[in-house]
Amino acid sequence: MPTVAVLGGGSWATALVKLLSDRSDRVYWWMRDAEAVAHIRQFGHNPRYLSDVQLDLQKVVPCESLQEAIAPSGMLVLAVPAAFLKSALQGIRPEQFHNKTIFSAIKGIVPQDNLIVGEFMHTTYGIPYDRIGVITGPCHAEEVAMEKLSYLTIACQSQEHAREMSDLLSGRFIRTNSSDDIYGTEYAAVLKNVMAIAAGICHGLGYGDNFQAVLISNAIREIKRFVDAVHPIARDIKDSAYLGDLLVTAYSQFSRNRTFGTMIGKGYSVKSAQVEMNMVAEGYYAIACIHEMNRQLGVDLPICAAVYNILYERIAPKMEMRLLSEKLT
């Protein structure tokens, strides 16, 4: 089994470190927070996220230095929020990724570049696409931590690398599915966060389950229109990697994007919701990128447009969702 590095300090990073350490000889875990690194070295758990998850420090190596984590690892898992990925990798040279396989567990778009993570790593660091993969759901880190039966989708153009990552993550309560649709699965993972914000806003405004069902059935069609425009290949949008991931993010109590949306619907400002959550809702950053991309694509995205108008144009959620309700079918 290859040596693996996980880059990031949040819930997903913590869950992935635990899963990978169960099947790997060594997992290097890099995070920016030096205090958290020191805490993990001493006590064997993340003090901020999924703190009940106990780690085997004979296998897990917490790192303050990004180079220390990357150098010995043949496989890297990126779990840094997309908005901070560029700054996290600052100072890393393309040759440091030579012959390494990169899997993204990030559900966002790199701002300014308007690129999904796979495209960003290929464009910026010259990593071949057959060495770039995506780890997506439907799956929440919190349920992985509770060892509830969960499913992950591993997407990569190389079946060998997809199988390698699947073997590392599969276990007693984790099932894996494979896909070669790295574009569709990653863009769908980005968009489902936006749709979850919309679902949360409607929940905060007092809309019921009947309306939510219509909203999400429209949302999956909206996702299909966008991913087909970006990367038109044959794909079944009803697969777990697309529809399943959307459903769990739109409905789950663990969904930070739904939680963020609910707070907006209840009258919180964007800033106050972010401060109170103390976690990153990827959909907030992603919708600005999607909005900009769609200036060129011209895809019909009424739900995305409504979320953008609420978060960035400061249109009243009640008014915007009433207008959206008249467009849904």
Neighbours of 300 (CB within 10 A): 13
Helix, strand, coil percent values for the chain (each to nearest 5): 55, 15, 35
Q: Which residues pair with 177 in a beta bridge?
A: 153
Pull the structure tokens for residue 149.
């039966």
Residue 62's DSSP bridge partners are 29
- Catalytic residue from among 18, 107, 192, 224: 192
Q: Which of 291, 283, 285, 227 is nearest to 255 (CA)?
A: 283
SS3 156: strand
- DSSP H or E stretch at residue 133: strand 132-136
Buried b (16+ CB within 10 A) or exposed e, 64-82: eebeebbeebebbbbbbbb
Q: How far apart are CA 210 and CA 213, in angstroms?
A: 5
Q: Rounded CA gap, 216 and 212, in Å?
A: 6
- In contact, 16 and 139? CB cutoff 8 Å: no
The CA distance from 307 to 312, in Å, is 8
**Residue 18 annotated as catalytic:** no
Active site residues: 192
